[in-house]
């Protein structure tokens, strides 16, 4: 496990005082255990969280641990926890030490002391170690020494949620994320793609051939790239120029997987739980550490595994029992064909859907109920993934792999039950490579050409997006088609650019940094929240009221329609009776409907406007308002033409008073002088018209003159 430069660790000096030690990174490269570090360490005693003066009376004894061996911290798939910590010592587990530790139930320890972390001291909870336990396999994680003995696991509990995590620099990473968010808020760049750069440590192969470092982390945000020249080439050394690249985060080679996850992806997982779509992808040259970042190893899991752990841990806290589903699919793009990694078979087709965006037709969606199931599926998928050894990388990924997780769950927000659907895409791209770097004229070179082609398509999409072009060539390759939502859609996206520090990969590193620098200018559409409110118990009554109102409205409509039918039937019947029964100058016609219901109709011999005619009723409901003489008069006066009619036969005044005093029927109209003189046929459908239309006294008004 690499050790952070200028980090600190804890141990005991010869007097069994608990001490904190400065660890010199250069020295630690060859000496990974605390025992050897204590040779070099600048020891300071610690008690109750305070630094004491270094002991000058006695030289610090070297603590030897013959059985110690270095192996990665067991961050296995099943997440067994490091519940214990044991400080390295095979000697003198004396009472004094135990008493000292017992008196320090919770000891805050400053682990990081580089410039960036000075103001954010990292604290971690300690419990006194179990007594009399031997140390077998000490580990140095973020400057602390761990003992992986199972008996100690119960005693040590990290404060953070993820088990076994190397959480050194957690505060620092949190600060970095907060700073980025604040800056974005100020600059209005909240929907920008976040870009992080991770340098990998120099490999043993590179060291063996005498490679030199050409890129280094300048600060937490910047990396400095310089072309390395041989030390003897003094002239060239003077001419060399470096360049700074600024990103949302820059991580040196010894950064833990956990820190990478915290800085780059934890925020996006949170977004997915809010119902948003998020994507994280690793980009870089072959052998730069993309797969290590995304997948990691069983002992040092990467972003995919940590994201799943975090996701399930948070879901357990937030989700209600009612609805919870996590479904995932895992696919690869190999030689421009899309293949299902979880159920390998024929090539799949990528389609674009208006509602769902980009979809892969026929892909298998697996439901997972715990992170362990996800790990198992991931492992199975990785076995099906195309990886081949190349000259540069023993386990080179020859395809782009995309893990897509769709989370649907219900939770309470302000006492309302809501269902949220979020999508998380985790993408491990294949690395760009030079043909000479791999193998020429073989299947590897064909794969390499396809990888390069899709990465070229990706870079042209990035260019078009940055330049704000209208047409973005997403369709140029399967990869860009699949990344369409992540790059230009409603999505929160993070890109982790992996680079090798070796000067042998200078060109690739420069290229990666260049494209990463461009990608940080891409603006996405911003996350959309897929949230749906479920009516709670309090909302039931409101819902009931609304439903009843709707039903009431429908019933009213039905009543109105029925009334209309009754009226039209009535008018038909009226039209069918040839002569209305009336008597004298004023009469209220005998309504057939009234006759039907067996009601008597009043017959008046006298003209008396004050006498109210009886209402014609159907049961208790008045069928229509009966006309009185005064109401008819009023209507006639209002509608009568001002100019006298040239034809006296048709003039308004020539029409007898009786004409208005009774209801006009179909026969009246068809036999009227107007109808005869115009020789117009009255359409049969006139009969169907409602009585109100037929009764319009102004019906004759405005008709063309018969002459």
Ligand X SMILES: Nc1ncnc2c1ncn2[C@@H]1O[C@H](COP(=O)(O)OP(=O)(O)OP(=O)(O)O)[C@@H](O)[C@H]1O
Helix (H, G, I), strand (E, B) or coil at 485: helix
Q: Which is nearer to ligand X, 25 or 343 (CB)?
A: 25
Which residue among 276, 425, 454, 498 contacts ligand X (CB under 6 A)?
498
Q: Which is nearer to ligand X, 72 or 622 (CB)?
A: 72
87 makes contact with ligand X (CB under 6 A): no
For ligand X, which stretch binds (CB under 6 A), given 313-321, 395-403, 595-603, 642-650?
395-403
At 464, list the tokens: 């078009």
655 makes contact with ligand X (CB under 6 A): no
At 454, give phi and psi (nearest 5°).
Answer: -70, -35
- Which residues are CB-contacts of 691 (< 8 A; sequence separation ≥ 6)? 567, 570, 571, 574, 624, 663
Q: How far is the CB of 231 from ligand X (least distance, A)?
A: 26
List the x/- string, 265-284, binding to ligand X by CB under 6 A: -------------------x
287 is in an annotated binding site: yes
For ligand X, which stretch binds (CB under 6 A), given 37-45, 107-115, 392-400, 658-666?
392-400
Please give the DSSP secondary-structure letter assigned to residue 348.
B
291 is in an annotated binding site: yes
Instruction: Please name the residue ranges forming H helices in 126-256.
Output: 170-187, 204-208, 234-239
Q: Which is nearer to ligand X, 288 or 377 (CB)?
A: 288
Q: Please report, as residue ranges, which positions from 513 to 542 form the binding site for ligand X (by CB under 6 A).
A: none
431 makes contact with ligand X (CB under 6 A): yes
- Opening angle at CA 617, ends 614 and 622, nearest 5: 90
Identify the bridge partners of residue 397 per DSSP, sorted by sequence position. Answer: 387
171 makes contact with ligand X (CB under 6 A): no
Report the largest interatomic distance among the alpha carbons of the chain, rounded to a whole angstrom: 141
Strand duo 277-284 + 416-428: pairing: parallel
Q: Which is nearer to ligand X, 335 or 524 (CB)?
A: 335
Q: How far is the CB of 258 from ligand X (least distance, A)?
A: 12
Q: Which is nearer to ligand X, 197 or 360 (CB)?
A: 197
For ligand X, which stretch binds (CB under 6 A), given 108-116, 288-296, 561-569, 574-582?
288-296
Which residue among 7, 13, 180, 291 contacts ligand X (CB under 6 A)?
291
Q: Quote the CA–CA distance of 8 and 29 in Å, as a whole number.
A: 14
Q: How far is the CB of 466 from ligand X (least distance, A)?
A: 24
At 341, list the tokens: 């990694």
Q: Quote the CA–CA distance of 70 and 82 in Å, as a whole number.
A: 16
Q: 564-568: long-range contacts at Cβ-Cβ below 8 A with a sequence spacing of 24 or more?
A: 566/618, 566/623, 567/623, 567/624, 567/690, 567/691, 568/688, 568/690
Please give the DSSP secondary-structure letter assigned to residue 148.
-
Burial class, 542, CB count within 10 angstroms (exposed 0-12 / middle 13-18 / buried 19+) = exposed
Q: Which is nearer to ligand X, 166 or 279 (CB)?
A: 166
Do 135 and 67 meet the contact criterion of CB atoms below 8 Å apart?
yes
Q: How far is the CB of 289 from ligand X (least distance, A)?
A: 3
Count of beta carbons in the 10 Å neighbourhood of residue 72: 13
Q: Quote the CA–CA distance of 170 and 175 in Å, as a whole number.
A: 9
Q: How far is the CB of 331 from ligand X (least distance, A)?
A: 17
For ligand X, which stretch binds (CB under 6 A), given 158-166, 290-298, 457-465, 598-606?
290-298
At 484, list the tokens: 């369409």
For ligand X, which stretch binds (CB under 6 A), given 104-112, 200-208, 241-249, 633-641?
200-208
Q: Quote the CA–CA distance of 216 and 502 in Å, as a whole number.
A: 10
395 makes contact with ligand X (CB under 6 A): yes
393 makes contact with ligand X (CB under 6 A): yes
For ligand X, which stretch binds (CB under 6 A), given 59-67, 131-139, 238-246, 394-402?
394-402
Which residue among 141, 430, 465, 629 contacts ligand X (CB under 6 A)?
430
At 514, list the tokens: 């260049």
At 612, list the tokens: 């109210």
Which residue among 146, 292, 506, 582 contacts ligand X (CB under 6 A)?
292
Q: Which is nearer to ligand X, 289 or 697 (CB)?
A: 289
Q: Which is nearer to ligand X, 385 or 624 (CB)?
A: 385
Do 328 and 406 meet the contact criterion of CB atoms below 8 Å apart?
yes
Which residue among 396, 459, 493, 628 contacts ligand X (CB under 6 A)?
396
364 is in an annotated binding site: no
Q: Please report, as residue ranges, which positions from 13 to 72 form the binding site for ligand X (by CB under 6 A).
A: none
Q: How far is CA 377 from CA 273, 370, 405, in A?
A: 21, 11, 12
Q: Which is nearer to ligand X, 299 or 523 (CB)?
A: 299
Q: Quote the CA–CA distance of 610 and 608 in Å, as a whole number.
A: 5
Identify the bridge partners of residue 376 per DSSP, sorted by sequence position. Answer: none
Q: How far is the CB of 291 from ligand X (least distance, A)?
A: 3
Q: Which is nearer to ligand X, 253 or 706 (CB)?
A: 253
Q: How far is the CB of 292 from ligand X (least distance, A)?
A: 3
For ligand X, which stretch binds (CB under 6 A), given 234-242, 388-396, 469-477, 569-577?
388-396
Q: Which is nearer to ligand X, 393 or 492 (CB)?
A: 393
At 349, list the tokens: 């087709």
Q: Quote the CA–CA distance of 25 and 9 in Å, as a whole number.
A: 12
Which residue among 107, 225, 288, 424 contacts ligand X (CB under 6 A)?
288
Do 397 and 431 meet the contact criterion of CB atoms below 8 Å apart?
yes
CA torsion sign for 57, 59, 65, 71 is positive
Do 396 and 389 meet the contact criterion of CB atoms below 8 Å apart?
yes
103 is in an annotated binding site: no
Q: Which is nearer to ligand X, 16 or 168 (CB)?
A: 168
Name the strand (E) or helix (H) holding 303.
helix 303-318
Size of the site for ligand X (CB under 6 A): 18
356 makes contact with ligand X (CB under 6 A): no
Q: Quote the CA–CA distance of 544 and 542 in Å, as a whole number.
A: 5
Please give the DSSP secondary-structure letter assigned to residue 60.
P
Q: Which is nearer to ligand X, 292 or 660 (CB)?
A: 292
Q: Which is nearer to ligand X, 319 or 498 (CB)?
A: 498
At 394, list the tokens: 């023993």
Q: How far is the CB of 500 from ligand X (least distance, A)?
A: 8
201 makes contact with ligand X (CB under 6 A): yes
Q: Quote the CA–CA distance of 344 and 334 in Å, as a whole number.
A: 12
For ligand X, which stretch binds (CB under 6 A), given 170-178, 195-203, 473-481, 670-678?
195-203
397 makes contact with ligand X (CB under 6 A): yes
Q: How far is CA 290 from CA 257, 341, 442, 455, 705, in A?
A: 12, 19, 24, 14, 94
For ligand X, which stretch binds (CB under 6 A), given 98-106, 120-128, 212-220, 287-295?
287-295
Give Rg (Cα) of the chain: 44
Which residue among 289, 488, 489, 592 contacts ligand X (CB under 6 A)?
289
For ligand X, which stretch binds (CB under 6 A), given 8-16, 198-206, 238-246, 373-381?
198-206
Do 257 and 302 meet the contact criterion of CB atoms below 8 Å apart?
yes
454 makes contact with ligand X (CB under 6 A): no
Residues annotated in a binding site: 284-291
Residues annotated in a binding site for ATP: 284-291
**Residue ranges in contact with ligand X by CB under 6 A:** 200-201, 203, 284, 286-292, 393, 395-397, 430-431, 498
């Amino acid at each position: 496990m690499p050790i952070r430069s200028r980090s600190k660790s804890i141990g005991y000096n010869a007097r069994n005082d608990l001490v904190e030690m400065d660890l010199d990174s250069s020295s630690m490269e060859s000496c990974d255990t605390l025992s050897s570090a204590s040779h070099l360490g600048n020891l300071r005693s610690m008690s109750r969280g305070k630094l004491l003066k270094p002991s000058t009376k006695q030289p610090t004894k070297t603590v030897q641990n013959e059985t110690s061996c270095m192996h990665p911290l067991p961050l296995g798939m099943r997440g067994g926890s490091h519940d214990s910590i044991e400080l390295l010592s095979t000697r003198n587990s004396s009472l004094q030490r135990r008493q000292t530790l017992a008196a320090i139930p919770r000891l805050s320890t400053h682990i990081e002391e580089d410039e960036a972390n000075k103001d954010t001291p990292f604290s971690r909870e300690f419990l006194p170690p179990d007594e009399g336990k031997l140390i077998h396999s000490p580990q140095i994680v973020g400057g602390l020494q761990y003992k992986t003995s199972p008996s100690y696991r119960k005693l040590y509990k990290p404060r953070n949620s993820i088990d076994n995590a190397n959480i050194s620099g957690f505060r620092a990473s949190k600060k970095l994320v907060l700073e980025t968010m604040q800056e974005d808020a100020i600059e209005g760049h909240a929907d920008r793609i976040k870009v992080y750069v991770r340098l990998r440590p120099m490999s043993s192969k590179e060291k063996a051939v005498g490679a030199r470092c050409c890129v280094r982390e300048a600060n937490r945000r910047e990396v400095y790239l310089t072309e390395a020249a041989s030390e003897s080439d003094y002239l060239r050394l003077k001419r060399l120029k470096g360049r700074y690249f600024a990103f949302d985060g820059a991580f040196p080679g010894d950064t833990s997987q956990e820190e990478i996850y915290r800085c780059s992806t934890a925020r996006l997982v949170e977004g997915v739980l809010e119902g948003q779509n998020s994507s994280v992808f690793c980009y870089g040259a072959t052998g730069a550490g993309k797969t290590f970042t995304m997948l990691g190893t069983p002992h040092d899991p990467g972003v995919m595994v940590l994201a799943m752990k975090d996701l399930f841990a948070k879901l357990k806290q937030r989700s209600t029992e009612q609805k919870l589903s996590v479904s995932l699919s895992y696919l690869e793009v190999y030689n421009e064909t899309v293949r299902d990694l979880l159920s390998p078979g024929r090539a799949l087709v990528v389609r674009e859907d208006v509602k769902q965006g980009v979809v892969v037709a026929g892909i298998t969606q697996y439901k997972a109920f715990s992170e362990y199931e996800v790990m198992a599926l991931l492992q199975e998928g990785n076995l099906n993934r195309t990886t081949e050894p190349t000259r540069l990388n023993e386990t080179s990924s020859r395809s782009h792999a995309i893990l897509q997780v769709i989370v649907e769950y219900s939770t309470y927000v302000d006492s309302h039950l809501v269902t949220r659907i979020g999508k998380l895409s985790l993408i491990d791209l294949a690395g760009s490579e030079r043909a000479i770097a791999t193998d020429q004229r073989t299947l590897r070179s064909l794969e390499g050409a396809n990888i390069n082609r899709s990465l070229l398509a990706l870079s042209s999409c990035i260019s078009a997006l940055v330049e704000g072009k209208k047409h973005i060539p997403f369709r140029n390759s399967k990869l860009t088609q699949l990344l369409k939502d992540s790059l230009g859609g409603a999505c929160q996206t993070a890109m982790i650019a992996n680079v090798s520090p070796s000067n042998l990969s200078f060109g690739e590193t420069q290229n990666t940094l260049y494209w990463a620098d461009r990608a940080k200018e891409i603006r996405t559409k911003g996350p959309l929240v897929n949230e749906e409110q479920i009516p709670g118990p309090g909302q039931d009554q409101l819902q009931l009221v609304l439903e009843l109102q709707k039903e009431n409205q429908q019933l009213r409509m039905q009543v109105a329609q029925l009334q209309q039918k009754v009226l039209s039937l009535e008018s038909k019947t009226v039209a069918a009776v040839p002569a209305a029964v009336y008597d004298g100058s004023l009469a209220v016609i005998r309504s057939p409907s009234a006759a039907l219901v067996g009601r008597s109709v009043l017959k008046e011999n006298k003209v008396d406007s004050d006498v109210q005619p009886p209402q014609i009723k159907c049961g208790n409901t008045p069928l229509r308002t009966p006309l009185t003489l005064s109401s008819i008069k009023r209507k006639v006066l209002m509608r009568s033409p001002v100019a006298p009619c040239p034809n006296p036969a048709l003039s308004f005044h020539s029409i007898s008073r009786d004409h208005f005093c009774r209801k006009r029927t179909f026969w009246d109209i068809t036999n009227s002088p107007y109808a005869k003189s115009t020789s117009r046929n009255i359409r049969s459908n006139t009969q169907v018209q409602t009585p109100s239309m037929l009764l319009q006294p102004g019906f004759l008004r405005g008709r063309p003159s018969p002459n």
